[in-house]
Amino acid sequence: MEAHGDRNWLRGDPSWWRLPSTSPVPRMRPSEVIFPEEFTTPEAESRFGWERQRMRPLAWTVLKPLAWSPFFLIASVIPLLFTGSTPDDQAVSGSLFIISWLLLILPVANARNNQPTSDDSLLALPVDWFSISLGLIFFIFHIEYSPILGWLSYAIFWVAFFRSIKMISDVFSVPPARIILPIDRESWNSTDLSSDWVVTEKIWKNGQIAVAHLGSGKLTLHGMSRGNTNFMSLSYICRFGFVQDCLFVNNPESEGIFKLLREFPVTSSEVEWPANLIIFDEEE
């Protein structure tokens, strides 16, 4: 999710990092990488070029419900161990089990959907769908064949839980951000892109214009608008569909990203950043 208000739109809301509301967020945060030297970046005397736009860290909306998920997964087995302690042991156990997985899946899906330019495929979420499916198969078999298969199913669901946590941690390892440039929409022509790009729109428009696949992720080019200014954005989308900072030391596709950026046909533009959207530190 983007920061509210013009002042924090690029650097992010200070509250995301527990900074006082009056404290400006630094232009560069730890582990962020500077732009390739081919790219022009804004300066106080010349507000032209590319700039990073940070998004809300995922931990804000995911960690708290995620912390409750294992509690309900553990609680789901208690009515089956102490039978007769509830009006309907099977229903209570099943409800607690479903709640445990909803607490993991829904906040992650919601956090991803709130990111501009992210993917929306349910199966792409950082969830171990294979182990979950396997656990469901053993659960169904235990009804027909043996209760032992039910406990095996429960063990497989714990494997799925821990593997999902590992996947979510991989997403958290690179913060969400994209790089954007104010642009004259009439000047853009997608045919200027290299053969690494799959073009979806030949002219500028709001939405996806082109995509370049990188390993298990992809770099996407989008058009966007704010106020009376048109922009283009470059976002790295990881294999789980989340936006991750393409200029970050932990990004697994950094080498491929920098290759694409150095070959990108637009390193600056003649459109100046609106003064209300961009701030500079005193030393700049």
Domain membership of residue 271 (yes or no) is: no
User: pLDDT at position 240, please?
Assistant: 94
Measured distance CA(28)–CA(16) in Å, rounded? 15
- Whether 124 and 221 map to the same domain: the answer is no
- Whether 42 and 181 map to the same domain: the answer is yes
- Whether 84 and 126 map to the same domain: the answer is yes
Domain membership of residue 104 (yes or no) is: yes
Comparing CA positions, the residue from 169, 168, 177, 197 lying closest to residue 33 is: 177
Task: Note the pLDDT tens digit of each residue in 103-156.
Answer: 999 999 999 998 888 888 889 999 999 999 999 898 887 767 777 888 899 999
- Whether 79 and 104 map to the same domain: the answer is yes
Whether 11 and 25 have beta carbons less than 8 Å apart is answered as yes
Domain membership of residue 254 (yes or no) is: yes
> Domain residues for 27?
14-54+176-262
User: pLDDT at position 158, please?
Assistant: 96
Task: Note the pLDDT tens digit of each residue in 163-187.
Answer: 999 999 999 999 999 999 999 989 8
- Whether 151 and 248 map to the same domain: the answer is no
Measured distance CA(174)–CA(237) in Å, rounded? 11
Domain membership of residue 274 (yes or no) is: no
- Whether 90 and 141 map to the same domain: the answer is yes
Of 106, 141, 172, which marks where a domain is finished? Answer: 172
Domain membership of residue 103 (yes or no) is: yes
User: pLDDT at position 282, please?
Assistant: 58
**Number of folded domains that form the chain:** 2
Range name among 59-68, 113-122, 274-283 with the lowest pLDDT average: 274-283
Structure tokens at 235: 């976002």
Structure tokens at 150: 């039910």
- Whether 35 and 86 map to the same domain: the answer is no
Whether 232 and 242 have beta carbons less than 8 Å apart is answered as no
Domain membership of residue 5 (yes or no) is: no
- Whether 66 and 131 map to the same domain: the answer is yes
For strands 207-214 and 51-54, give the pairing.
unpaired
Of 107, 138, 172, which marks where a domain is finished? Answer: 172
Kindly state the average pLDDT of the residues 22-41: 88
Of 172, 188, 205, which marks where a domain is finished? Answer: 172
- Whether 146 and 119 map to the same domain: the answer is yes
Task: Note the pLDDT tens digit of each residue in 75-89.
Answer: 998 888 887 777 887
